[in-house]
Every structure is written in C-alpha cells, then in structure tokens.
Amino acid sequence: MNKRKCVELRSHTYRLFAGLINQPMSAATWQQLIQWAKQTGESGFLSPVQQWIIEHEKLSNDGLMSMAVDFTCLFTGISQEFGPPPPYEHLYRENIEPSDCRSAVIQCYNNYDFKPLDPYNNVSDHIVAELQYMSFLASQQLQPTDIFLELNDTLILRQQSFLQHHLLSWVHSWCNHVESQNNKLKFYSHVISALICFLEQDFENLSRDRAPT
C-alpha cells in the first residue's frame, strides 16, 4: 500500500471510531457494519470487532436496543451508579486542571482552524472531537503543496504530539472504567480495545514516517 493510501486509511479509521462512539447504533449503520465485516479480509486490530459483528449478524431490534442501553451506560455519564464518567479528557487526566486541559486541546484545534462536528462543537476534549481532529490532520497530508515534505513533517509532528499529550494520556484510564462496567453485549468493549490498539500503532508508525532531516 502506497503512502497516500495509508494516510487515507488512517483518516478513515479515525472517522470510523468517532462515528461508532458518537451516537447509538442505528439499524442502517448496523447493516453497513455487517456488509463491511463480510467483505473485509483479516483486519488486524479491528478483527475482534469484525468477528463480533459476524457472530451477531442476525441481531434483532431488541438486540439493537440492548446495544443502545450499553451505549448510554458507557458513554453518556448519566450517573455514577449507571456507568463511568463520559469520555472527556479532563475527567480522566490527573494532575491537570480541567480548564487547562480543555484550553490545551482548543489551542491545538485553533492552530488549524479546526471545529469538531456537532454535537460536540462546544465540548472540545470529548473523545469524538479528538478523533475527528486526528482524522482532519491526516486528511491535510493529502493536500497538494509546493512545500510538501516540510508541511507533511509538521503535520506528522502535530499528530504525534496530540496522541502523546492528549489521546494516549487518558484513553487507557477510560478503557479501564468501561471494562469494569457490566455492558450486556460487549460490542463497545471490543471497539474501545481496538481503538487503543490503533492509537498505539499509529503513534509508532508516525514516528517512522517522519521525513529525514
């Protein structure tokens, strides 16, 4: 796979994870996932998600409702008794003030005039917004430029930095909270585990992809 295809795949994968965590599973999205699972070969870090979808292909409407209950429990933070805190970076980072955490994320967005898609445009450090930002940065590597190598290297550095200082600084703690919950179908447990694997691999790959100085 050439570099352009790799960058396209990275951007798409960030969007995929953002979409899965953005809202409860709809019947239409479920059918699209079934089609993807059947038509895709071995998919690395996504294999557990792919296998779960294939095994639950005939999930009923009641099953989708159970998945929606899991989503609400795991991602919305209705109450301490019902599930973990919602996936905002400032709720899972230690030794940093929430306002400082959010300000740091906003500054990253402002560097590229990036605005997360609704409904998370006013909550800068939500996991969905941060994944959308990484997808955006990757997509910028596909833009033609006369100073491509310099710009590309800057974009890679930005992505490395955001992964290191933001996403990878809190998603493991979030995952531990999710794993401790009794989510009935376990679909989202597979999704989050796959997400963390992807983030770690992407950070390593970005370290290798930087242009030589």
Q: Enumerate domains of the chain plus CATH numbers.
A: 82-213 (1.10.3480.10)
Q: Taking the complete model, does pTM exceed 0.95, yes or no?
A: no
Residue 2 burial by CB count (10 A; 0-12/13-18/19+): exposed, middle or buried? exposed
pLDDT digits (tens, 9 = 90+) for 113-135: 998 876 555 678 999 999 999 99
Phi, psi of 36 (to 5 degrees): -60, -45
Please identify every stretch of the chain with a pLDDT value under 70, giving residue numbers as ranges.
1, 118-122, 145-150, 210-213
Query: What is the DSSP secondary-structure string of 109-154?
Result: HHHTT--PPTTSTT-TTBHHHHHHHHHHHHHHTTS--TTHHHHHHH
Q: Residue 177 and residue 145: Cα distance in Å, rounded?
A: 43
